[in-house]
Amino acid sequence: MGNCIICGKPVDGLVCEAHEEDVAFEFEGTSASQLSPGRFYRGTVDGYADFGVFVDVGDHVTGLLHRSELDQRLESLDWEPGDSVYVQVLDVRDNGNIDLGWSIRQQDRDFRGKLIETADDELLPEEFEDGSSDEPETDESSTDESTETTSVDDPTETTASPSETGSEPVTNGTGSTATESGSSETTSPTETAATTESAGAVESVAESTEEAEDVEEAEEADGDSDFEFGTEPSLNRTTVDAIESQVASIVRLEGEITGIRQTSGPTVFELSDETGTVECAAFEEAGVRAYPDVELDDVVALEGEVERHHGDLQVETEALEVLTDEERESILERLEEAIEQEARPPALELFDDHEAVSAVEDELFEAATEIRRAVMESRPIVVRHQATADGYIAGAAIERAVLPLIREKHTRDDAVYHYFERRPLEGRVYDMDAATDDVTSMLEARERHGEQLPLVVLVDAGSTAESADGYDLLSLYDTESVVIDDSRADEEITESVSLAVAPSLADADVSDLTSTALSVNVAAAVNDDVRDDLGHLPAVSYWEDAPESYLELATEAGYDEETLAERREAVALEAFYQSYKDKRELVIDLLFDDDGDLAAHVSEQFRDKLETELEAASENCSARGIDGVTLSILDTGSFTHRYNFPTTKLLLDALHRREQSRADPPFVTLGVGDDELHVRSTETLDVRELGNEIAERVPDAGVSVVGGRDGHIEYLSGERDAVKEATVETLGETLA
């Protein structure tokens, strides 16, 4: 029993529950399970990833501060590896992973007290220092003698500390410690002879010394060998998928370096062979690059001990050699053959005989092959999609297929966040702003973490000429891009991307098509194991007139029209909020794991918000008839809440669906804003042609079309009225 160092209240320990968060803790334990969730700890920045920051909490455990926990963008953090920071431990998972939270307090003075947390106790800093110094003195001559007896070389040059190697300390019974990998610190033989256990430890050291001497003699006898692989130079090659059963064994791997990450301790090389990818830690000294001549895409032979590091498989590198000439070509040929074989799906089985989908069957197959190949090559995949219901659902379909493959390929539990990312777009154009963001992120990842350049997949966006500049920027870095889009595409876009999956380019009718209907077929070809998860998604993506075949698929999966509508509306609402985020877990809950309560609750909010705006919009629409065409015109600048839900596009879609039932075709809904115009029509309309005609009639209005034939028109706000009148006249002539 003690007293709280903050309030003096009697407690078990040194701080009461009410003041636990007022104390900064230093962790001196040896296992993640010894941490106390809710407390704030002083840590050291270990390194960055796309999804957050790794922080060493003490010498023996590392946690992840996910970017969602930050109070600022990850890119704006000025932390460098090795910097001291304060974080909160939110959770310690069963597999040893540690979830960290942001701390606004980053200085000692921001806390009201400081304590040391050990494996089984709490101590004041002065108590810990007194206890750590209370060790028996070691006779200097005995230490020297021990060093000569137990070491082949200078142990300070060849042995890493437990914190540097990632191994946890194990007491060997002598007062010294040894890492799990078997290395030990210098020990006095006069002390270790005191017990039977100590004698055994000395005998073990002596045996290790004899083995090392035997290896050294063997290497000296082999004058042609320049590649040293520990104690077993003739190891047979094993594969990444086989090392799980070889923990604590020395293995030999051959493959390609697909990632290099420098931490405050070891250098971590990501090695990929034809079966998988594993991280290999190599230690020179804290924060110093090991094997500096090894670069991304090098083909190597590596030997080391298989270990588990925070639950993940990892190889502690003992030797690493870059292979060249015939050895390199032989391994590359083996990798390429395996990738080719594994990347191509066995077959493409369409969900339905939808004419527009069938028109691009070959392209769907090739898109699935490109995505699978990126997974096999350990390249990150970035999916860009519109921040709409169709965009989110289509992107989530591909995500559903890819994540299990990444888990199979990589030994890291967090690989699904590292190698796959969805990034919503504000509109249907992949412009220079979006491309610059992607290029900046991928170059930073390559520089900081040695990542390969990603495969960029555009879904429900990016198929028109306005996106060409963005793709050109990607191509300067040899970054591949794939487009999957239901809108009317421009032929010239095929020259800017690696692959375009757009039925309109095959002259197919896309009036009853969604991007989700295309994406689910790609996703099922990428990973047939998730086919049953995807059957209801096409029906979810249609706001009206869903093809009967898709409704039947949804019914077979257990979804009626009401539950389909609830999921569609819930995704549409959540797509609006934090529209730049993927909201991965929330979208998964809404589309795949929800029993209906979550979707129903969010859907109710959607309907309330939309109905309120629809009533106001309907009251303020002006109807005009010209040459047999009925137009409903809404001043969106004056009679909508532009920055609140629903978006202008979503509101006009709903308004058009409601109003067209009251008028004879052709019927057009116009949304005229301060500097942009949106049009919805019961007849097929080419917005690009409409924009060109308006530009001729109002040449000083700066008219431009964004998003191609299915896009919208932008203009100078000072010419708003002239543009509106020119639009009405042009529509009357075009649709009459």
C-alpha to C-alpha distances, 285 to 17, 158, 263, 300, 303, nearest whole angstrom: 40, 10, 11, 22, 19
Residue 102 token pair? 């942001």
Residue 75 token pair? 């890119």
Residue of 586 and 660 predicted with greater confidence:
586
Alpha-carbon distance of 507 to 207, in angstroms, equals: 77
For 29-104, list the strands marked E by DSSP: 40-49, 52-57, 61-66, 84-92, 98-102
Q: Flag the least confident range among 157-161, 339-343, 389-393.
A: 157-161
Flag whether pLDDT at 631 surpasses 50.
Answer: yes
- The most confident of 178-192, 250-264, 706-720, by mean pLDDT: 706-720
* The pLDDT value given to residue 234: 52
Q: What are phi and psi of 342, to 5 degrees?
A: -85, -30
* The pLDDT value given to residue 574: 96
The topology under which CATH files domain 620-735 is Diaminopimelate Epimerase; Chain A, domain 1 (3.10.310)
8 A C-beta contact, residue 535 and residue 552: no
Beta bridge partners of 42: 86
8 A C-beta contact, residue 508 and residue 488: no
* The pLDDT value given to residue 178: 35
Alpha-carbon distance of 366 to 522, in angstroms, equals: 9
CATH number of 2-133: 2.40.50.140
**Residue 499: which pLDDT band, with cuts at 50, 70 and 90?**
very high
DSSP-derived letter for residue 589 is I
* The pLDDT value given to residue 131: 62
Q: In the block, which residue shows the tokens 């209907």?
A: 517
Alpha-carbon distance of 472 to 454, in angstroms, equals: 15
Exposed/middle/buried for 650, CB within 10 Å: 0-12, 13-18, 19+? buried
Beta bridge partners of 250: 305
* The pLDDT value given to residue 665: 87
Mean pLDDT of 572-578: 94
Please give the mean pLDDT across all residues of the chain.
84
Domain boundaries, the chain: 2-133, 140-221, 240-342, 344-545, 620-735
Q: Which helix (H) or strand (E) holds 706?
A: strand 704-706
Class for domain 240-342, per CATH?
A: mainly beta
Flag whether pLDDT at 697 surpasses 80.
Answer: yes
Q: How many residues does the chain have?
A: 736
* The pLDDT value given to residue 1: 67
Flag whether pLDDT at 231 surpasses 60.
Answer: no
pLDDT tens-digit series, residues 523-564? 999 999 999 999 999 999 999 999 999 999 999 999 999 999
Q: Name the CATH architecture for the domain at 344-545.
A: Alpha-Beta Complex (3.90)
In angstroms, what is the C-alpha Rg of the chain?
32
* The pLDDT value given to residue 193: 32
Alpha-carbon distance of 99 to 90, in angstroms, equals: 5
Q: Would the pTM count as exceeding 0.95? A: no
Question: Are 2-133 and 240-342 in the same CATH fold?
Answer: yes
pLDDT tens-digit series, residues 267-312? 999 999 988 899 999 998 888 899 999 998 999 999 999 998 877 8
